[in-house]
């Protein structure tokens, strides 16, 4: 059963228009700040495994730094093929803690 786990503090969250990688046990999570909304998804691009948390934000999408694949931050869908989709995670802030549902 999924539960919320602390992944970061509020101070560690990316600034608006940025994405960052966060380690959660054996899993890397990409947390992005898209137009002031914090989102969380798998950090591994479906194309060649690029680190999305090292990518850039363009509009409502995260762009992989390796080959430019784009993913809608809210849904995890690849921009060119909505059937290709990364796992997304619910995220919430409690006090100073940022929690992700895994």
List, as one string, the DSSP characters of 42-77.
ESB-TTT--BGGGSEEETTEEE-TTT--EEETTT-E
Q: Is the model's pLDDT at 1 over the cut of 80?
A: no
Instruction: For CA atoms 72, 36, 91, 7, give the dihedral sign.
Output: positive
What lies within 8 Å, CB to CB, of 23 at 6+ separation is 29
The pTM is what?
Answer: 0.93
- Structure token digits, residue 15: 């600034």
Q: What is the pLDDT of residues 59-92, one digit of tens each?
A: 999 999 999 999 999 999 999 998 999 999 999 9
**Structural domains of the chain ordered from first start:** 14-91 (2.102.10.10)
């Amino acid at each position: 059963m999924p539960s919320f786990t602390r992944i970061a503090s509020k101070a560690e969250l990316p600034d608006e228009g940025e994405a960052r990688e966060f380690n959660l046990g054996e899993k890397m999570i990409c947390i992005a700040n898209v137009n002031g909304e914090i989102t969380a998804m798998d950090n591994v691009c479906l194309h060649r495994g690029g680190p999305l948390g090292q990518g850039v934000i363009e509009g409502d999408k995260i762009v992989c730094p390796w080959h430019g694949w784009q993913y809608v931050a809210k849904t995890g869908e690849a921009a060119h093929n909505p059937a290709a989709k990364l796992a997304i995670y619910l995220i919430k802030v409690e006090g100073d803690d940022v929690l992700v549902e895994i």
